[in-house]
Amino acid sequence: MIVLFFIPLFIVALAKRLLSPKQTKSIDKKHVVVTGGSSGIGKSAAVLAARKGANVTIIARNLERLSSAEKEIAAACIHKDQIVTSVSVDVSNRKAIQSELDKLEEKIGPIYMLINCAGMALCGKVEDFTEQDINTLISANFLGTLYPIQSVIPKFKDRKEGIIVLTASQVALMGMFGYSIYSSCKFALRGLAESISMELKPYNVSVTLALPPDTDTPGFENENKTKPEETHLISQTGGLLAPDTVAEKLLQDALILLSALSQFLHILEQNCNNRELRVLSKVLVYRKKDETVVGRVHSAIVSAVNFDLRSATVEWFEQGETKGKEIDMTAIASLNPDIVILKPGERYIQEPTHQTQTSGNKLQRDSSGSSEEETSAAMAQSGRFTHKLDESDDDFNSNQFSPETATLSNPTRQSVVSVKSNNGVMRSAQQIRVTQNMLPNNGHTLPSNDVVINKESNIPTSRAVQNSRRSNVVKEVEKLKKNREERRQRQAEEKAEKEAFLQLAPGNPHWELLNMILEYRRGLDIKPLSENDTIEDHLITVCVRKRPLNKKEGARKEVDVITVPSKNQLIVHEPKNKVDLTKYLENQLFRFDYAFDETCSNEMVYRYTAQPLIKTIFEGGFATCFAYGQTGSGKTHTMGGDFNGKSQHCHKGIYAMASADVFKLTNSPKYRHLNLIVSSSFFEIYSGKVFDLLNNKAKLRILEDGKQQVQVVGLTEKVVCTTDEVLKLIQKGNQARTSGQTFANSNSSRSHAVFQIYLRSNSNTQKVHGKFSLIDLAGNERGADTSSANRQTRMEGAEINKSLLALKECIRALGRKGAHLPFRVSKLTQVLRDSFVGSNSRTCMIAMVSPGVSSCEHTLNTLRYADRVKELGGGDLQTNTLSDDSHSDGDLLQLRSLNENDMTPEMLNFHQVISELEIAEENMLDNHKQTTDELYATYQKAIGLLKTTDEVTYDQEAYCKNWEELVNNAVSLLVKSQEIVADYKAKMSAEEQLSRKTKRK
User: Which residues line the annotated binding site for ATP?
Assistant: 629-636
Three-state SS at 658: helix
Residues β-bridged to residue 435: 412
User: What is the Cα 56 distance to its own chain's centre?
Assistant: 38
Residue ranges in 169-210 assigned as alpha helix (H): 180-200
The whole-angstrom separation of Cα 639 and Cα 619 is 24
Instruction: Give the separation between CA 313 and CA 809, rounded to whole angstroms.
Output: 83
With 0-12 CB in 10 A as exposed, 13-18 as middle and 19+ as buried, what is 333?
buried
Kindly report the backbone phi and psi dihedral angles of residue 470, in degrees, each rounded to the nearest multiple of 5, phi listed first: -70, 145
Strand boundaries in 768-902, DSSP class E? 768-776, 841-849
Distance of CA 290 to the CA centre of its chain: 59
Q: What backbone torsions phi and psi does residue 934 show, to the nearest 5 degrees?
A: -70, -35
DSSP state at residue 30? -
Q: Return d(Cα 737, Cα 45) in angstroms, integer.
A: 73
Residues in Cβ contact with 284 at an 8 Å cutoff, skipping those fewer than 6 apart = 295, 296, 297, 335, 415, 416
Kindly provide the residue ranges of all beta strands, DSSP E only, lying in 532-687, ordered along the sequence: 540-546, 562-566, 569-577, 583-591, 594-596, 622-629, 642-644, 647-649, 676-686
Alpha-carbon torsion, ordered 956, 962, 967, 969, to 10 deg: 170
Question: Which residues contribute to the annotated binding site?
Answer: 629-636
With beta carbons less than 8 A apart as the criterion, state whether 420 and 489 touch: no
Contact at 8 Å (CB) between 895 and 912? Answer: no
d(CA 686, CA 590): 31
Contact present, 912 and 904 (Cβ < 8 Å): no
- Concatenating the DSSP letter of every residue in 57-116 gives EEEES-HHHHHHHHHHHHHT-SSTT--EEEEE--TT-HHHHHHHHHHHHHHT--EEEEEE
Angstrom distance (rounded) from CA 428 to CA 87: 46
Residues 6+ apart with CB under 8 A from 431: 334, 335, 337, 348, 350, 414, 416, 469
Residues 6+ apart with CB under 8 A from 568: 529, 591, 592, 593, 594, 595
How many angstroms separate the most distant Cα atoms in the chain? 167
Cβ(783)–Cβ(801) below 8 Å: yes
Q: Residue 852 gets which letter from DSSP?
A: B
Residue 415 and residue 432: Cα distance in Å, rounded?
Answer: 6
Please compute Rg for the chain using Cα positions.
44
What's the CA gap between 117 and 567, in Å, rounded?
51
